[in-house]
Amino acid sequence: MNVSDAILKRTSIRKWKSTPVEKEKIEKVLEAGRRAPSWGNTQPWQFIVVQDKAKREELGNAAGGQAVVGDAPVVIVCCGSIEVFSHKMQRQSLKQLIEVGAIDWTDDILDNVVLESDLFAPYRLGEQVMTIKAGEQIMIAIAYMTLEAVNQGLGTCWVGAMSAKDCHQVMNLPDDIFVHDLLPLGYPDEDPKPRPRKSLEKISFWEKYE
């Protein structure tokens, strides 16, 4: 299946077959997330695969009792780290870009100009901003995973309506890791039609906004 076909076929699945999902397929979905782009190659994501029924049900309760979570044979808890936006980690990430020739900054410019600018200052703007920046990158990775799931004959449903605090407690996570989304995964037991989308003419513009 090519990428265009996966994009067209993808839809949110809320009913699941009881068929277990093969480990190799789960790993291919995770690999798609690992390969996603991120700002400065920060890669702030962490993915926890949950197959235990009791734990899945706890996560479902943390998501307002949504059956799509508790009933799915697999739930990927998509987490983030704000530590990747620390000054040290930012410098390491940008040094990688310098080494591959993506940017031509010198160490002096990197330390005294770039890392002191607003463009690369989330580590100076507080935990809330760092969480938002990490969340932006995590969503890209989740999008990649949803498409690879389709390629593997699986379905997903992106769940953001949940208590991050409760999910954090369910998973017994350290303080520097936060839960951003849940991604139920499994073999679909339904074949819903894609939801309506706005026409391209309504959302895209050439050269200027009209």
pLDDT value, residue 147: 97
Residue with tokens 């040094």: 95
Q: Are strands 74-81 and 155-156 parallel, antiparallel or unpaired?
A: unpaired
Is residue 91 within 8 A of residue 112, CB to CB? The reply is no
pLDDT value, residue 85: 64
Query: What is the tens place of the pLDDT at every residue in 89-121?
Result: 666 667 777 777 777 777 666 666 556 666 555
> How far is Cα 130 from Cα 188, in angstroms, rounded to an integer?
35
- 130-134 contacts at long range (C-beta below 8 A, 24 or more positions apart): 130/82, 130/85, 131/80, 131/82, 131/178, 133/39, 133/44, 133/85, 134/42, 134/44, 134/45, 134/80, 134/81, 134/82, 134/84, 134/85, 134/178, 134/180
Position 164, amino acid: A
Q: How far is CA 141 from the centre of its chain?
A: 4
Name, in order, each residue with C-beta under 8 angstroms of 17's C-beta and a sequence gap of 6 or more: 186, 187, 188, 189
pLDDT value, residue 100: 78
SS3 9: helix
pLDDT value, residue 54: 96
Is residue 191 within 8 A of residue 76, CB to CB? The reply is no
pLDDT value, residue 27: 98
Intervals of the chain under pLDDT 50: none
Domains of the chain: 3-84+127-189 (3.40.109.10)
